[in-house]
């Protein structure tokens, strides 16, 4: 056997992972192998493996680089067919090497998790390996995009690695995500802990995951889709797509919705976004504010919009909003806030749980971010709700409003009821009288033209002009510069 024959045999064996039997077992579990996942997500023929023969490919992870739509990306995937992809120091070396290369080249990192955990036979040495990976992951946070796909078990310290990523994708029926293993929890609780506690649904509702896919193929497609909206690193702008400057056939629907008072944030997003360019982030988490990545005439925009039903804000929204704003700010993605909210929930439980701190954190996140920011008030915006999500003075560069906007210091309905309380009490039909007085006097307290007169709003626009006006403002703000005060860091946003 000559050297080329030996080469072919060695490489063939390495590409078989744990061997045909283990590969077949993986397929019987309705799961792709690590190599199949990598080849499926990257452009055909672009994958270059790095360190493929380390420990004769027994490190439990496949790593390398390739392209997605022609853009360089680095990728590593845990190989379950090799000893269940148990984490060890060789795997740590391969992962750290890939992260170093991604930092040097300014390219995104994709991570695919599918492992039974760490190799405990390595003892305390394993803590060093975990620490090296976590440190590099943390250092690269906000430098290059990191996307995690949880395609199987992801328990223990590697769960922290996954959630340190900018985006986490889980898969129904396959994903498990927890810091403590099932065995640890059984001991702690002295009860059997079912895997369903860590599944994809729980992960996304807890905020551990940003997207949930029904199949592995969908998870890989979501990952490719994310990369259409974000730049390769923090020094670049998000990629531009083909401009959509055609008149939107649906734009007149916004005028009609405004007249009929049937508008909501989701309708506005779907109307102004370029065709097929809407990606909702954290879809199943706290729908009072929905977060999207969209294309606006080819420009990537991060959008926060109040959901279908007009609901009050609560403290749980703070983490969702702050994380989204932080990602947009890290990767130079301008922000649009579409506001129609009754403000923050007023109850004793929320106050005891620290809603004031969460309101402050939300305002800080937006105020501290330096990307272009435009607010658009389409409905109600009172007090803390206005200041958190729409205020030019607190955070935004430009404030816009529809003629349907209602902006006030506090809920004007309460002010009107207090002022005309005697008339309401003495009326034969109290509810009808209250509604009549509110309708008659509401504009005295919340007219958007009053807000424009004192400079709270820059422009009041027709609903049908929303796309053109928002794009014009964001385009104008692309070259803005902000004075930064010297500081190490600000309020923790996580």
Sign of CA dihedral 155, 279, 364, 339: negative
Q: Residue 206 has what pLDDT?
A: 58
Q: Residue 204 has what pLDDT?
A: 53
Q: Which pair of tokens denotes residue 1?
A: 């056997």
Residue 56: DSSP 8-state:
G
C-alpha distances in Å from residue 137, one per residue of 95, 144, 337: 10, 10, 30
Residue 169's DSSP bridge partners are 149, 211
Query: What is the bridge-based pairing of β-strands 406-408 and 380-382?
Result: parallel
Number of domain units in the chain: 2
C-alpha distances in Å from residue 383, one per residue of 389, 410, 415: 10, 5, 13
pLDDT digits (tens, 9 = 90+) for 6-26: 787 777 777 778 888 888 999
Number of residues assigned to the chain: 494
Q: Residue 425 has what pLDDT?
A: 77
Mean pLDDT over the full length of the chain: 86
- Domain assignment of residue 222, given as a range: 3-226
Sign of CA dihedral 315, 318, 321, 324: negative
For residues 194 and 53, state if they share a domain.
yes
> Has residue 388 got a pLDDT over 60?
yes
For residues 222 and 280, state if they share a domain.
no
3-state helix, strand, coil in the chain (%, to 5): 45, 20, 40
Residue 161, domain CATH: 3.90.226.10
| Mean pLDDT computed over 409-433 | 76
For residues 262 and 189, state if they share a domain.
no
> Has residue 400 got a pLDDT over 70?
yes
For residues 216 and 268, state if they share a domain.
no
Pick the closest to residue 33 from 227, 216, 223 (CA basis).
216
Residue 212: DSSP 8-state:
E
Residue 352 confidence class, pLDDT cut points 50, 70, 90: confident
For residues 23 and 138, state if they share a domain.
yes
C-alpha distances in Å from residue 425, one per residue of 59, 171, 429, 437, 441: 78, 57, 9, 12, 17
Q: Which pair of tokens denotes residue 365?
A: 């996140």
pLDDT digits (tens, 9 = 90+) for 233-265: 999 999 888 766 555 567 778 998 888 888 888
Residue 55 confidence class, pLDDT cut points 50, 70, 90: confident
pLDDT digits (tens, 9 = 90+) for 175-214: 988 876 555 444 334 333 344 444 555 555 556 889 999 9
Tokens 């590099």 locate to 136
Residues 6+ apart with CB under 8 A from 347: none
CA dihedral (295, 206, 198, 177) in degrees, to 10, reads: 60
For residues 93 and 152, state if they share a domain.
yes
Query: What is the bridge-based pairing of β-strands 146-150 and 71-78?
Result: unpaired
Pick the closest to residue 462 from 248, 252, 250 (CA basis).
252
Environment class of residue 81 by beta-carbon count within 10 Å: exposed (0-12), middle (13-18) or buried (19+)?
Answer: buried
Q: Residue 148 has what pLDDT?
A: 97
Let me know if residue 246 belongs to a domain: no
Q: Residue 421 has what pLDDT?
A: 78
Q: Are 463 and 263 in contact (CB under 8 A)?
A: yes
Give the Cα separation of 179 and 155 in Å (integer): 5
pLDDT digits (tens, 9 = 90+) for 259-300: 888 888 899 999 999 998 999 999 888 788 999 999 999 999
Q: Residue 198 has what pLDDT?
A: 47
Q: Residue 20 has what pLDDT?
A: 87
| Mean pLDDT computed over 339-344 | 84
For residues 205 and 268, state if they share a domain.
no
> Has residue 347 got a pLDDT over 80?
no
Three-class SS state of 489: coil
Q: Residue 438 has what pLDDT?
A: 73
For residues 208 and 310, state if they share a domain.
no
For residues 143 and 15, state if they share a domain.
yes
Q: Residue 309 has what pLDDT?
A: 62
Let me know if residue 106 belongs to a domain: yes
Let me know if residue 367 belongs to a domain: yes
Euclidean distance between the first and final Cα of the chain, in Å?
A: 58
pLDDT digits (tens, 9 = 90+) for 296-336: 999 999 999 987 666 677 777 888 899 999 999 999 999 99
Query: What is the bridge-based pairing of β-strands 48-49 and 289-296?
Result: unpaired
Let me know if residue 73 belongs to a domain: yes
Q: Residue 228 has what pLDDT?
A: 95
Q: Residue 203 has what pLDDT?
A: 54
């Amino acid at each position: 056997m000559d050297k080329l024959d030996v080469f072919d045999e060695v490489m063939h064996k390495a590409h078989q992972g744990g061997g045909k039997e283990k590969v077949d077992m993986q397929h019987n579990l309705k799961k792709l192998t690590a190599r199949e996942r990598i080849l499926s997500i990257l452009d055909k023929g672009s994958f270059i493996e790095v360190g493929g023969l380390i420990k004769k490919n027994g490190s439990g992870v496949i790593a390398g680089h390739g392209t997605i739509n022609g853009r360089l990306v680095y990728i590593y995937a845990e190989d379950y067919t090799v000893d269940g992809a148990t984490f060890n120091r060789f795997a740590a070396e391969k992962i750290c090497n890939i992260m170093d290369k991604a930092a040097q080249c300014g390219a995104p990192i994709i991570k695919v998790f599918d492992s039974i955990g760490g190799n405990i036979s390595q003892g305390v040495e394993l803590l060093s390996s975990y620490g090296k990976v976590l440190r590099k992951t943390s250092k690269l946070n906000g430098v290059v995009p990191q996307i995690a796909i949880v395609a199987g078990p992801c328990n223990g310290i590697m769960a922290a690695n996954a959630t340190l990523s900018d985006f986490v994708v889980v898969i129904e029926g396959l994903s498990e995500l927890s810091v403590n293993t099932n065995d640890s929890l059984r001991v702690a609780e002295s009860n059997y802990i079912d895997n369903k506690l860590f599944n994809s649904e729980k992960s996304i509702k807890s905020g551990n995951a940003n997207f949930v896919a029904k199949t592995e193929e969908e998870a890989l497609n979501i990952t490719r889709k994310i990369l259409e909206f974000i730049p390769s690193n923090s020094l670049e702008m998000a990629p531009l797509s083909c401009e959509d400057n055609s008149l939107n056939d649906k734009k007149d629907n916004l005028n009609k919705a405004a007249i009929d008072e049937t508008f909501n944030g989701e309708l506005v997003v779907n109307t102004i976004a370029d065709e097929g360019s809407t990606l909702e982030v954290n879809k199943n988490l706290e729908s009072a504010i929905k977060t999207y990545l969209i294309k606006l005439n080819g420009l990537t925009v991060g959008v926060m919009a109040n959901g279908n039903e007009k609901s009050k804000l609560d403290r749980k929204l703070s983490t969702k909003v702050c994380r989204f704003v932080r990602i947009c700010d890290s990767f130079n993605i301008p922000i649009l806030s579409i506001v129609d909210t009754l403000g923050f929930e007023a109850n004793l439980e929320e106050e005891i749980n620290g809603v004031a701190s969460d309101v402050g954190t939300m305002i800080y996140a937006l105020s501290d971010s330096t990307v272009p920011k435009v607010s658009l008030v389409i409905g109600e915006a009172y007090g803390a709700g206005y200041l958190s999500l729409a205020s030019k003075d607190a955070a935004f560069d430009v404030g816009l409003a529809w003629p349907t906007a209602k902006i006030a210091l506090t809920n004007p309905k309460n002010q009107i009821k207090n002022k005309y309380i005697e008339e309401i009490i003495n009326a034969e039909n109290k509810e009808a009288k209250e509604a009549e007085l509110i309708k008659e006097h509401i504009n005295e307290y919340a007219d958007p033209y009053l807000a424009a007169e004192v400079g709270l709003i820059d422009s009041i626009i027709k609903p049908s002009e929303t796309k053109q006006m928002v794009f014009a403002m964001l385009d104008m703000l692309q070259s803005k510069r902000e004075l930064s005060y010297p500081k190490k860091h600000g309020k923790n946003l996580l």
